[in-house]
Amino acid sequence: MVNDNNGDAIASEGAAQATTASKPIIKKRNAKRKQNFAQIHKDALPLEVYPLPAFHPTHPLSVLQLIWTCLKQLAYPPSSHPAQQYLGYMSKESRSVHITEPAHVRALWERGFFGKGTLSRSEPSWMDREKARIAARSQGGQTAEEVTKARREERRLFKLERARIERERIERQRLMEQGKLVTNVPSEGDTLLDNAADIHISAAVSDAGVAGSIEPVDGDLSIPLPNEDLALYAPDIENQEHLQLTLEEAFFLKYALGVLDIHADGSPDNVSLTDNRDLFDLFRHTSKFDTSPMGMDDQFILNYVVYHHFRSLGWVIRPGVKFSVDYLLYNRGPVFSHAEFAILIMPSYSDPYWSTSEGRSKKRMQDQKDWWWLHCINRVQSQVKKTLVLCFVDIPPPCATDEELTVRALLSRYKIREFIVRRWLMNRSRD
């Protein structure tokens, strides 16, 4: 009796082992290490901030620590500016300022999202993407951009084939109605169209198989991979990318923050542009495509007034040419969320001077727009889930002392009015 039970136990154990061995062992892929954007972009501007210690009313020592910190910062105030100013080079050909030092590039992007990589869509990540491409080729794989390109090409070919079969089916149906085609034998087009779902599923499975050969990438494809993983495969590569600042961004860093040192040409030995008024006039001349004299409604002045206004309110402001506007407003930055507002600069000649014959002759821009123009712009913003903001800039009349005024005194003559424009939808506005 005992022997039978032992035999059954041994048989059961053997069956369990066989069942376990027959199951495929699935190894979980290591989770992708995501970048902590909240820590990387913790500073809103490229300035050092020294917060006071926390105060707890129930903790007496916190009061002493707070008093000691205040007295120390009053006696020896720390500098909020970096030890070495960021270095930039003025480029009249591209009407921008170039930042070539890698440390300065990362600092300006991570602390305020200033500029754009010349070989990237926004964040200067060409170097990391190039290393990832070389590392993937050495391992026989593909980068995320290459996988996405192959998937899109396969989908495009599938749609073309589906459209061709649909046209043939319609033509065949027309011939059948005219009695010119025998209907007994099913055609190839009918079979293919009936199995269109299977074709789509097989294409999706094929995409999954291709994607399974590499590590999946979460979020934006422009986010670089960790540097320690790339250093194992990628050789030394010369960084061919630099940060490109618009004239408004460069002047804000120079005039408002005082953290940027701009040189006229591509060599630090040249004379640095230290005077704010001279740099302001240089940017005004550079931003224009003609050699006409400067006026109060120069495009650079209007752009910078709006840029400085929203930057001072805490917004991250980026160029908005992609959505047919002047600027885009981000709450924290492009890596956290999409832009909430689209800014359109509208020059306003509200001063009585611009109604005179002399004032009308000096106008450079059209202060009135057609209704269909506004409707087109607003429709675009509605499709991309953004709120259109018309930013009216009141242009002051010129005076004889404008050339002698400081930048602060000149900018203080401009005023800004903001208006939000939304589409009127009948279904949402019945009451």
Distance (Å, rounded) from C-alpha 416 to C-alpha 348? Answer: 9
Token digits for 370?
A: 């057609």
Catalytic residue among 104, 131, 309, 386: 386
Report d(CA 365, CA 351) in Å as an integer: 15
330 is catalytic: yes
How many Å apart are CA 295 and CA 360, to the nearest integer?
Answer: 13
Q: Which residues pair with 341 in a beta bridge?
A: 329, 387
Which residue type sits at 314?
G
Name the one residue in this structure whose structure tokens are 């999946």.
216
CA distance to 14, 350, 356, 367, per residue, from 363 (Å): 94, 12, 11, 9
Residue 73's closest CA among 55, 57, 54, 51?
Answer: 51
Handedness of CA 174, 175, 179, 183 (dihedral sign): negative
Selecting among 304, 330, 349, 414, the annotated active-site residue is 330
Answer yes or no: are the C-beta atoms of 105 and 99 closer than 8 Å.
yes
Residue 328 in contact with residue 320, Cβ under 8 Å?
yes
Token representation of residue 301: 């002045």
Residue 106 has φ and ψ, to the nearest 5°, of -65, -40
Q: Which of 81, 92, 149, 338 is labelled catalytic?
A: 338
Q: Which positions are catalytic?
A: 330, 338, 386
